[in-house]
Amino acid sequence: MISFFPASRALVPPRSRVSVGVSRFFRRIGWEHLPTVFAAVLIIALIVIAVTVPWWAPYDPVAIVGRRLQAPSWQHWLGTDALGRDVMVRTLYGTRYSLPIVAAVLLAAVVIGVFVGAVAGFLGGFVDNALMRVADVTLAFPPVLLAMAIAASLGPGLVNTALALIIVWWPIYARLMRAQVMSVNKLDHVDAAIVGGVRPARLLLKHIMPLCWSPIFVNATMDVGQVILVAAGLSFIGLSAQPPTPEWGQMISEGASNFYFWWIAFGPGMAIFLVSLSANFLGDALRDFIDPHSGHAA
């Protein structure tokens, strides 16, 4: 017997109140948004953790709390590291280093890139050539290599890592903004504004730039994961945070020297993985939301 409606759903008893609420929520917005919601919840949770962790963490992240190299247990969920510090607490504290770095790097890169790109695209000619050649030179190096070189020459430290990443990252946004400004500049309403007697500065700020933001936002969201990875990479090779700072890349580097005690690297590794993945999910969702044509889902 073939039925058009699947009868099974009515027969299955609800497992619990919560699961009914969640599945009703997703039935309304569509199950394809599951990764987006997951990512958003995770990112918000990480931000909350970063802000509040000192108030409820059971241990001090740099204090020796027990025997060294303990396997995960109820007392130490992710075990202890080579010095006997709690890996779980250190991982949670890691959000206080990684998240601000990402925020600072992306904010600065976007601000510098947008400014340079907008000026270059709007003025054109010599200014455009000069600014874009600087950007090209920066982009000509492999980003990780350049960041390493800059971080190494500035000296190790979190602030210097951030500076190195900003130097590596701004040209991407400059190019993006330049292309946007140049294409918006060709639109009729810009000509109409010129015909109305609008000054160049106002033209750029009021009539061109407000139409340029969406690819910048999408790209910035996608880049969150990238920045975290490169920042962790720099501290893994010892160019960023120094021990005993509980920074993720730095912790993985410690875990690598105690390779058979897997839990030491597992906490920070998982954290990096989840943040990068969530950032990419959010970026995808944002891109689909802003430009429905580029996505696969209708």
Partner 1 sequence: MPPESVNGPLLDVRGLTVVVPTRRGPREAVSNVDFSINRGEVIGVVGESGSGKSLSMQAVMGLLPRNFQVTGSIRFNGEEICGSSERRMRALRGGRIAMVFQDAMTALNPVQTIGAQIVEMIQLHNAGLSAGELRDRALSLLKAVAIPDPERRFAQYPHEFSGGMRQRVVIAIAIANDPDLLIADEPTTALDVTIQAQIMEIFSRLRSERGIAIILITHDLGLVAGMADRVHVLYAGRVVESGPIESIFREPHHPYTASLLAAVPSIDHVSERLKAIPGTPPSLADRASGCGFAPRCALALPLCATLEPPVSRFGASNVACHRAEDQASLSRMGAPT
Residue ranges binding partner 1 (CB under 8 A): 187-189, 191-199, 206-207, 210-211
User: Least distance in Å: CB of 180 to partner 1?
Assistant: 13
User: Least distance in Å: CB of 6 to partner 1?
Assistant: 41
User: Least distance in Å: CB of 207 to partner 1?
Assistant: 5
Closer CB to partner 1, 218 or 252, in the complex? 218
CB neighbours of residue 197 within 10 Å:
6
Whether 191 contacts 242, CB under 8 Å: no
Closer CB to partner 1, 13 or 210, in the complex? 210
Closer CB to partner 1, 137 or 205, in the complex? 205
User: Least distance in Å: CB of 220 to partner 1?
Assistant: 19
User: Least distance in Å: CB of 181 to partner 1?
Assistant: 15
Closer CB to partner 1, 40 or 193, in the complex? 193
Residues whose CB falls within 8 Å of the CB of residue 110, separated by 6 or more in sequence, listed in order: 173, 216, 220
Using only the alpha carbons of the chain, give its radius of gyration.
24
Report how far residue 128's alpha carbon sits from residue 116's, in angstroms, rounded to the nearest whole number: 9
User: 86 has which bridge partners?
Assistant: 80
H or E element: which one contains 92? helix 87-123
Report how far residue 70's alpha carbon sits from residue 90's, in angstroms, rounded to the nearest whole number: 15
Closer CB to partner 1, 125 or 155, in the complex? 125
SS (H, E, C) 216-282: HHHHHHHHHHHHHHHHHHHHHCCCCCCCCCCCHHHHHHHHHHCCCCCHHHHHHHHHHHHHHHHHHHH
User: Least distance in Å: CB of 205 to partner 1?
Assistant: 12
Nearest by Cα to 148 from 69, 244, 238, 80: 238
